Amino acid sequence: MNGYKAPSFQDRAAASLQAKEKALAKLKAAPQPDAAQLELRAERRVEREKLAAAKAAKARQQRDDKQRLAEEKRAEAKAAKAKAELPKRTEAEMKAARDARYAARKSRK
């Protein structure tokens, strides 16, 4: 009984070359696209690129809007903090300011 005989290097190289030639022949036999198909593909590619550019612009606009809103919130928080840190006026100061407003109103009449 004969056992399994492994193929030699030359056998493997020949099989590889034969497979490559077969694949190349199959590729050459494939139908080539005509000019109309190529033009249609180009138009579709241009449309896809336009859509991608519009999508990127929209994403960029949304990101910019988010950043602007965040900046506005930070500015509002900073203003509120600054307003809260103002020294509190005493009752005497508030009474003096009120009296000054009353006097200014009377002087206009």
pLDDT in tens, 29-51: 988 889 999 999 999 999 999 99
pTM: 0.45
Q: Is the pLDDT of residue 69 over 80?
A: yes
DSSP 27-86: HHHSPPP-HHHHHHHHHHHHHHHHHHHHHHHHHHHHHHHHHHHHHHHHHHHHHHHHHHTS
Question: Is 108 a residue whose pLDDT tops 90?
Answer: no
C-alpha distances (whole Å) from 36 to each of 25, 47, 58, 93 are: 25, 17, 33, 87
**Rg, the chain, Cα only:** 41
